[in-house]
Structure 1
Amino acid sequence: MSDTDDLVAIEQLLARYAVAMTRGDVDRVLAVFTPDGTYSAFGDSYPLDELPALIAAAPKGLFLVGTPVIELDGDSATGTQPLCFVEHSEHEMRIGYYHDTYARTQDGWRLRTRAMTFIRRSGAHDSGRPHAFERGRS
C-alpha cells in the first residue's frame, strides 16, 4: 500500500466515525476502533465497553469534521482532526479537535486512541469538564 492509499484509508475511517456519530449508530462507531481502543474526554479515558454509555449521554447532532493532518509511521500513525459539532435542536455549536493514534490491523486502519480537545469561547483548549459525564460505576 502506498502512503496515499494509507492516508485515504484513514480519512475514510474518520469519515465513517463522523457519519456514525451523527446517525447515532453506536455499533459502527465501535467498529472504527481497535479492540483495545480508548476515547478520552472530560478529564478521563474510556475503554470501548464504556463508549456506548458515553455516546448515549452526549448531545445529538451533526459531527462536521475537517481534513486530518496525519503522520504515517509504518503500521501506526498519529493525527489531528478539527471538529465542529452542531446540536440538532438548538443548533448550538461545540468546536475543537481530536488527537488520534491509528493502527493498521488485518481489517485495515483503525483508531487506537481518540482524545477530544474543546476550544472555549475564552480561547482556552481543554479536554472538558470532568463532571460532564458520570460513569456508571459503584
Structure 2
Amino acid sequence: MAATDDLIEIQQLLARYAVTITKGDIDGLIGVFTPDGTYSAFGDTYTLDVFPELVGAAPKGLFLTGTPLIELDGDTGTGTQPLCFVEHSSHDMRIGYYSDTYLRTEQGWRLRTRAMTFIRRSGIHDSGIPHAFDRPAV
C-alpha cells in the first residue's frame, strides 16, 4: 500500500491542476506536469508547448474533480480521477474522468500523462470528437 504522504502529495497536485485550469493560470497548470508531460483528449495528444493555445481555445468554467483512485509502484503510479466541468456562461456540464500516470521527480510528484474520457448521455465512454473546437494542430 502506498505511503500516506505520497497519496496526499498527489491529491494536492491534482487539486492544483483543477484550481489552476479553472483560474486560467497556464504556468501553474504546466507546473503540475513533468517536462515531457502530455494531455490527451479529442483524439489527439498534446505536449506542454501547446498548452497555452489549447487551454486558450477550450471553454472556460469550473473544473470539479473527485478524490482520485491512485496506485503507486515505487516512484511511478497510475490513477483515475472523476471530473465534472461546468461551462461558465451557460452552466452546461461535461462529465467524465481522467486516466493519469505519475512520476516522482526532484520537485515532488508530477503528472506524466493525463487522458480525458467523457461520459455521454447515451452511457458511452469516449475520448471525444477530433477537432471538436478550434485548437492548435498537433
Inter-partner Cα distance in structure 1 for 2:75 and 2:119: 31
Q: Structure 1, unaligned stretches of length 5 or more?
A: none
Equivalent pairs counted in the alignment come to 137
Report the 3-state secondary structure (helix = DSSP H, G, I; strand = E; otherwise coil) of the residue aligned with 2:7.
helix
Measure how far apart 1:133 and its partner are: 4.2
Inter-partner Cα distance in structure 1 for 2:136 and 2:63: 25
1:104 aligns with 2:104: yes
Per-residue CA deviations over 1:87-127 (Å, capped at 9, x if unaligned) read 01110000000000000000000000000000011111000
1:31 aligns with 2:31: yes
Inter-partner Cα distance in structure 1 for 2:112 and 2:50: 15
Report the 3-state secondary structure (helix = DSSP H, G, I; strand = E; otherwise coil) of the residue aligned with 2:100.
strand
Structure 1 counterpart of 2:16, one-letter code = R
Inter-partner Cα distance in structure 1 for 2:110 and 2:103: 5
Inter-partner Cα distance in structure 1 for 2:131 and 2:57: 12
1:45 is matched with 45
User: TM-score, length-normalised on structure 2?
Assistant: 0.95
1:125 is matched with 125
Q: Which runs of 4+ in 1 moved over 3 A?
A: 133-138
User: TM-score, length-normalised on structure 1?
Assistant: 0.95
Measure how far apart 1:50 and its partner are: 1.1
Measure how far apart 1:136 and its partner are: 3.7
Report the 3-state secondary structure (helix = DSSP H, G, I; strand = E; otherwise coil) of the residue aligned with 2:131.
helix
Indicate if the aligned counterparts of 1:21 and 1:63 stay in contact, CA closer than 8 A.
Answer: yes
Inter-partner Cα distance in structure 1 for 2:107 and 2:34: 10
1:85 is matched with 85
CA change 1:72–1:129 in 2 (3 A) is same
Indicate if the aligned counterparts of 1:54 and 1:133 stay in contact, CA closer than 8 A.
Answer: no
Report the 3-state secondary structure (helix = DSSP H, G, I; strand = E; otherwise coil) of the residue aligned with 1:132.
coil
CA change 1:91–1:72 in 2 (3 A) is same
Report the 3-state secondary structure (helix = DSSP H, G, I; strand = E; otherwise coil) of the residue aligned with 2:12.
helix
